[in-house]
Amino acid sequence: MKDLFPVLHVLGLLLMFFALAMGVPWAFSWWFADGVMLAYPLSMMITLACGVSLWRGFGQFSRELHPRHGVMLVTSTWVVLPLFAALPLLLAFSLLQQPLTFTHAYFEAVSGLTTAGSTVLSGLDALPVSVNIWRTFLQWVGGMGILVLAVAVLPLLGMGGSQLFKAEVAGPVKDTKLTPRMAETAKGLWKIYSVMSVACFLAYWACGMTPLDALMHMFTTASLGGLSPHDASFAYFDSVPLELVAMFFMLLASCNFALYFIAVRKGSVQVFWRDAEMRATMTALLGGGLLVSLLLWVKGVYAPLTALRLGMFHVISVASTTGYASVDFLQWPVFAPVLMLLLSGVATSAGSTGGGIKMVRLVILVQQALHEVRRLAHPRMVQPVTLGQRVVEPRTIFAVLAFMLVYGGSILVLGMVLLATDLDPVTAFSIVIASINCMGPALGQVGPASNYAVLSDFQIWVCTFAMVLGRLELLSLMALLTPSFWRR
């Protein structure tokens, strides 16, 4: 258990930074005088006090973090931070004299930080401005991952962040350093994320959103989160230019941010077209959008142009795990929403802000399947599995196979748990898939026209666990739950 002490020390640092983040909604609450300003300084003081206590109390255990520390810190961060992120929500609703249970507040905080975009709140248009700012800002912070930001800070304090970066960054291939120092890598990724966010904000503003709406939707577009300050989500605007802006930046955020980093350093965009995962991601998102658009036209649901507009927007939104909606797509032919839900598991790239198993794993699995098929015809053939021009190591293939087994098993087990609560099968399994993929709207009772408030507290806790599990890409949390992890 002594391995936990340096983790608690660093967790204290993260809490102190997180306390400062609460200054963002506090400033908006003060500027707009929305009646809940007291919620933020109180939350900030509580969070800061806990952070300082951990930082100073376990300061003697400060040292270089090893892989097991990285697993513990990443997991504890995504479990503990939502506790403090829920404080402003609980205090704000208390000041408004509106009921909000701890279960709902924690779910909302987890949904924000994991960029899932699920919500239990309604009447969003009437909420104080600062509450919606906090909900959406949580997604922007969680988009790239708080720990990647911490990697840029830890070396300044004499603690390397390499193991944290490997534990946090999505995907099976994590060992390739973009720069010699992980701190420089983290800073570079955050710069790209920030530049993309500013461009997204300006584009939304230029195309008709108010600056406030543009800011909040930028938070949830760049992060592929999908929370909106409006109950009607994107239907509130009913604007083709705004939907085009959203699609463009959702496509950008669905790609591996490392590619942008390399492209900037080399001054060339050729790296994008040479990347096999990038090509597969664009094929899935754009090809899926065209397929659903064609279906909506052929089935007579919409006229050709309307079918193209709505089909492309919703496929890109759902498949990228963002979850914006401008119509209730559950009213479409059943093939469309089921296809979109399945795409949400595979359509985003590793190293993006999206969820799911990541496209690189699917590409590796397909390559391995084709390899085995060819071996049936040519048993003595020696042809390794490749990803682009790079040979995929057998241990990486085994890791992908293990991940897929855990992914499928988690959906099955959690879906059965929800079935035991008398939830219908479509809703039960679709909300588990949506939660693990960090996507948001599901099928059945929890579609784009509804929200997770229709579920019981126990069902909401199952979805909360699934969101954390998905954000940690399953194996990190699973490793922490195994007895062997805690043995010497």
Domain boundaries, the chain: 395-486
Identify the top-confidence range among 84-88, 117-121, 143-147, 162-166: 84-88
- Where does residue 230 fall: left (phi above 0), alpha (psi -120 to 50 degrees), or beta otherwise? beta
3-state secondary structure the chain: CCCHHHHHHHHHHHHHHHHHHCHHHHHHHHHHCCCCCCHHHHHHHHHHHHHHHHHHHCHHHCCCCCHHHHHHHHHHHHHHHHHHHHHHHHHHHHHCCCCCCHHHHHHHHHHHHCCCCCCCCCCHHHCCHHHHHHHHHHHHHHHHCHHHHHHHHHHHHCCCCHHHHHHHCCCCCCCCCCCCCHHHHHHHHHHHHHHHHHHHHHHHHHCCCCHHHHHHHHHHHHCCCCCCCCCCHHHHCCCHHHHHHHHHHHHHHCCCHHHHHHHHHHCCCHHHHHCHHHHHHHHHHHHHHHHHHHHHHHCCCCCHHHHHHHHHHHHHHHHCCCCCCCCCHHHCCCHHHHHHHHHCCCCCCCCCCCCCCCHHHHHHHHHHHHHHHHHHHCCCCCCCCEECCEECCHHHHHHHHHHHHHHHHHHHHHHHHHHCCCCCHHHHHHHHHHHHCCCCCCCCCCCCCCCHHHCCHHHHHHHHHHHHHHHCCCHHHHHHHCHHHHCC
pLDDT tens-digit readout, 179-193: 556 667 777 888 889
**Which whole number is the average pLDDT over 286-296?**
96
pLDDT for 465 equals: 94
For the segment 53-77, what is each residue's pLDDT rounded down to a tens digit?
Answer: 999 888 777 766 676 777 788 888 8
Q: What is the spatial distance between Cα 226 and Cα 221, in angstroms, rounded to a whole number?
A: 6
pLDDT at position 157 is 42
Contact between 336 and 292 (Cβ < 8 Å): yes
**pLDDT surpasses 80 at 447:** yes
pLDDT in the model for residue 158: 46
- ∠ CA 32-35-37, rounded to 5°: 80
Q: Which of 333, 337, 355 is nearest to 117 (CA)?
A: 355
Provide the whole-model pTM.
Answer: 0.90
Strands 390-391 and 386-387: antiparallel
What is the per-residue pLDDT across 406-441, written as a single tens digit (0 to 9) for each?
Answer: 899 999 999 999 999 999 999 999 999 999 999 988
Q: Say whether pLDDT at 245 is over 90.
A: yes
Mean pLDDT confidence for 218-229: 93
User: What is the reported pLDDT for 74?
Assistant: 80
97 is written with which tokens? 């004299």
Instruction: Read off the tokens for 253.
Output: 């955020």
